[in-house]
Amino acid sequence: MVDKLTLNMITQRSIEEGVAMEKGKTTQEYFEACSIIEMNEEDIRKLGLLPNQLVKVTSECGSVIVKAIKGRQTVYPGLGHIPQGVWANQIVPPRTQATGEPQYSGFPATVESARGERRKSALECVQGAVGLWRSD
Amino acid sequence: MPKKIENVGCPYCGVCCDDLVVTVSDDGRHVLEVENACAIGNEIFHHASGDNRIKLPRLRQPDGTYKDISYDEAVDYAAKVLVKAKKPLIYGFGSTNCEGMAAAAKVAEKAGAVLDNCASICHGSSFLAIFDNGYPSCTLGETKNRADVIVYWGSNPAHAHPRHMSRYSIFPRGFFTGKGHKGRKIIVIDPRYTDTARVADIYVQVKQGQDYDLFNAFRTVIHGEDIPDEVAGVKKEQILEVADILKKARFGTIFYGMGLCHSDGRNHNVDIAISMTRDLNDFTKWTIMAMRGHYNIAGPGVVWAWTTGYPYCIDMSKKDHAYMNPGETSSIDLAMRDEVDAFFNIGTDAGAHFPIEAVKHLKKHPWITIDPNICMASEIADLHIPVGIVGVEVPGIVYRMDNVPIQYRQVLNPPEGVISDEELFERIHQRICEIEAEEGITQTGAAAADTQKSIVGE
Ligand code: SF4
C-alpha cells in the first residue's frame, strides 16, 4: 500500500455530464456526474481506498477533492479520468504547446486519500477561485 | 390543441439531428414531448420550458449580489466596456446561430477586439493540421451510404455524440451499405475501454499520449515496411491486422476527437492522421472527419473565414487588419499572459471549461456573459445578459460537423422581452457607433478615414 500515487490524467466528455449540464451546472446531477475520478481497480487497491472514498488530486497547478470510483469505461493502471467540467478544470494545466489548447489530457497528478476534506460544489470551486464565494 | 412540429434540429452536439418531432402546448410556451432525440437533446427542450429562466440582464453590485437592469442599460454597459478596453476578447459561440456570429464579428471589428470561438480549446489543433496538410473529408451522408470500415480514434460518440453511430456509422442501412451493422467493421482506438469500444469489432488500446507513434506504425506497415514488436502499447500482430482491414475497405472514414487534440502533440497528431488517410487513398477510398463538439461550433469557422479570412483566434485590435496566430492570439494564451482587458463569454461556459488559472486571469477585468441559462460564467460575471435559446426559441443557420448548413427552427416563444444574440450584438454595435459619435472618437491609423476597408463585410 502507498499513501500517494502519481497518475497520468485525462479529462473528457461523459453523457452523464452532458445531460446534467443541460439541467444546470448548479444541480446535484452535475455535481455527481463530474466530481469523480475514474481509476483502475489496481490503483484503488494500492492506495487502500474503500469504494467511493474521497481523494485529493493534485497537479502542477492546484488540487481538487473528488470521489474515486472504478467506472464502467475502464482505464488501465496508471491512467486516471475526471469527466470534463468544473472539477477537472481545477487542476488542468493551462499550457498549450503554442496551439491555444490547454493540456486537458496527459498531465501528471498525484492522488491521495482526502483525509476528512469534503467535495466543493461547482459554485464554490469557481466563485471561490475568483473571490466571489460567500458560504451561506 | 397541442402542436406537433417536425424536422426540428437539436441544439446540442455536432451530429445536428434534424429529425426531432417536438410537441408544444397550446400557448406555445411549453414542450410536452420530444421524439427521436437522445437523453441530452431531450433535456434541452424540456429545460427550456422550465420556470427558472432569467428574463432580465443582471448587473453585479458592489456587495457582490446581482441587480436586474433593462436591456437598454445592459447594451450601454457592454458598449462602454468595449469602447474603453484596449484589447477586449469576445469568445464562445459553440451554442448560437450563424446570424449571431456574423453580428458579433461586426462588433469585434468596430471595437478592435480579439474574436475567438470554442475551437480554440477543442478542434483548433485540427485547423492547424488542416491548413498544413489538407482535409480529405466527406459528408456524413457519404459515410452512411458508402462506408464499410469506420474508425473512431480518440473519440467517444457513445457519450459525446450519442446518435452518431445510429444515424451515420454503425447501424444505418445506406444505398451501398444495405446490410447495416453486419456489413460494417468498426474499429475503436482509445486508451480507455469506452462504451464506444464495447460496440466495436476491434478495440485497440493505445497508450495515452502515444497516438502519433501508432499512426506512424500504421503508415510504415501500409508502406510495406517492418515495425517493432510493440508500438504505443499495441502488439505488432494487431497493427498488421488493422492495417490490412484499412487497406481492403471499399470506403472508410476515420472519425477522430479530443483524444488527439488535447494530448501531447496536438496538431501533429491530427496532421499524421491526415497523412495516413492520404496514404490509404493509394489503395482505396478513405476519408477523415473531426468530431466537432457543439451543434454549431463549425459555424464560426465558416462564417468568420468568409468575413475576416480566418476561422478563429482573430486579432482585430489594430482595426484595419485581421491577424491570426494560435498560441499568441488564442484565448487561453492571451488570458495567461494578461493581454486582454475585457472578456465577453457568449454561448459557452468559460467559467466551467477553461482551466481555472485562465479564469482567474480573465476575471481581473470586466467580464460579461451572454447566455440563456445560469452557468459558471454567468455566476462570476459583472454583467449577465440572457438571450433566447437557439434551436428552441430562436431559429437560424447552423453548420453540422461535416460543414453542411442546416436551418434550425423555433418551437417555443422566448420568455417575454428576451432577445436573440443577433439582436443583442446589433444593438451593441449601434450603441458603440453612438458613443463614438458623442465623444468624437476618431479611429487611429489606416482606419481613420471613413473610407476604411471593412474587415468584416456587411
Ligand atoms: S445526438 Fe446530438 S444532436 Fe442528436 S439528439 Fe443527441 S445531442 Fe442532439
How many CB atoms within 10 Å of residue B2? 11
Q: Where are the beta strands (DSSP E) in B49-132?
A: 58-60, 66-68, 89-92, 114-117
Atom number in ligand 1 closest to CA B16: 3
Say yes or no: B356 contacts chain A, CB-CB below 8 A: yes
Say if ligand 1 is within 6 A of residue B21 CB.
no
Final residue of a structural domain among B272, B290, B308: B290
Q: Which chain B residue's Cα is nearest to A80?
A: B192
Total number of domains in chain B: 3
Atom number in ligand 1 closest to CA B39: 6
Say if ligand 1 is within 6 A of residue B40 CB.
yes
Residue B193's SS3 state is strand
* The predicted structure's pLDDT at residue B70: 98
Q: What are the chain B neighbours of A124 within 8 Å (beta carbons)? A: none
Residues B359 and B421 in one domain: yes
Residues B281 and B322 in one domain: no
SS (H, E, C) chain A: CCCEEEEEEECCCCHHHHHHHHHCCCCHHHHHHHCEEEECHHHHHHCCCCCCCEEEEEECCEEEEEEEECCCCECCCCEEECCCCCCHHHCCCCCCCCCCCCCCEEEEEEEEECCCCCCCCHHHHHHHHCCCCCCC
Nearest protein CA to atom 5 of ligand 1, as residue: B37
In which band, very low, low, confident or very high, does the pLDDT at B52 lie, cut at 50, 70 and 90? Answer: confident
Q: Is pLDDT above 60 for B211? A: yes
* The predicted structure's pLDDT at residue B48: 82
The residues in B 246-265 lying below 8 A from A, measured between CB atoms, are 258-259, 261-265
ipTM: 0.97
Residues B137 and B269 in one domain: yes
* The predicted structure's pLDDT at residue B445: 44
Q: Is pLDDT above 60 for B458? A: no
* The predicted structure's pLDDT at residue B447: 47
Say if ligand 1 is within 6 A of residue B90 CB.
no
Query: Greater confidence, B49 or A95?
Result: A95
Instruction: For residue B330, tell me if it sits in a domain.
Output: yes
Final residue of a structural domain among B49, B69, B84: B49
Q: What is the CATH number of the domain that holds B141?
A: 3.40.228.10
Residue type at position B159 = H
Task: Compute the nearest-CA separation of B147 from chain A (Å).
Answer: 26
Q: Is pLDDT above 80 for A135? A: no
Q: Is pLDDT above 60 for B221? A: yes
Residues B370 and B266 in one domain: no
Q: Are A121 and B278 in contact (CB under 8 A)?
A: no
The model's pLDDT over A116-134, given as tens digits with 9 standing for 90+, comes to 999 999 999 999 999 999 8
In which band, very low, low, confident or very high, does the pLDDT at B455 lie, cut at 50, 70 and 90? Answer: low
Q: What is the mean pLDDT of residues B185-191?
A: 97
Residues B319 and B420 in one domain: yes
Q: Is pLDDT above 60 for B454? A: yes
DSSP one-letter string for B200-238:
-SEEE-PPTT-HHHHHHHHHHHHTT----SEETTEEHHH
Nearest to B262 among A23, A24, A105 (CB): A105
Q: Is pLDDT above 50 for B234? A: yes
Nearest protein CA to atom 2 of ligand 1, as residue: B13
Say if ligand 1 is within 6 A of residue B167 CB.
no
DSSP conformational letter for B408: E
The model's pLDDT over B403-447, given as tens digits with 9 standing for 90+, comes to 999 999 999 999 999 999 999 999 999 999 999 999 886 555 444
Residues B41 and B167 in one domain: no
Instruction: For residue B11, tell me if it sits in a domain.
Output: yes
Residues B299 and B407 in one domain: yes
The model's pLDDT over A43-101, given as tens digits with 9 standing for 90+, comes to 999 999 998 899 999 999 999 999 999 988 999 999 999 999 999 999 999 999 999 99
All structural domains of chain A: 4-130 (2.40.40.20)
Residue B243's SS3 state is helix
Cell of B453: 476597408
pTM (two decimals):
0.95
Residues B128 and B84 in one domain: no
Per the DSSP assignment, residues forming a β-bridge with B115 are B90, B314
Q: Hey, are the CB atoms on A12 and B363 less than 8 Å from each other?
A: no
Instruction: For residue B214, tell me if it sits in a domain.
Output: yes
In which band, very low, low, confident or very high, does the pLDDT at B324 lie, cut at 50, 70 and 90? Answer: very high
Domain ranges, residue B9: 3-49
Task: Compute the nearest-CA separation of A113 from chain B (Å).
Answer: 23
Residue A100: which of B392, B119, B150 has the closest Cα? Answer: B119
Say if ligand 1 is within 6 A of residue B100 CB.
no
Length of chain B counted residue by residue: 458
Residues B345 and B198 in one domain: no
Q: What is the mean pLDDT of residues B267-287?
A: 98
Cα(B14) to centroid of ligand 1, in Å?
8
Residues B38 and B105 in one domain: no
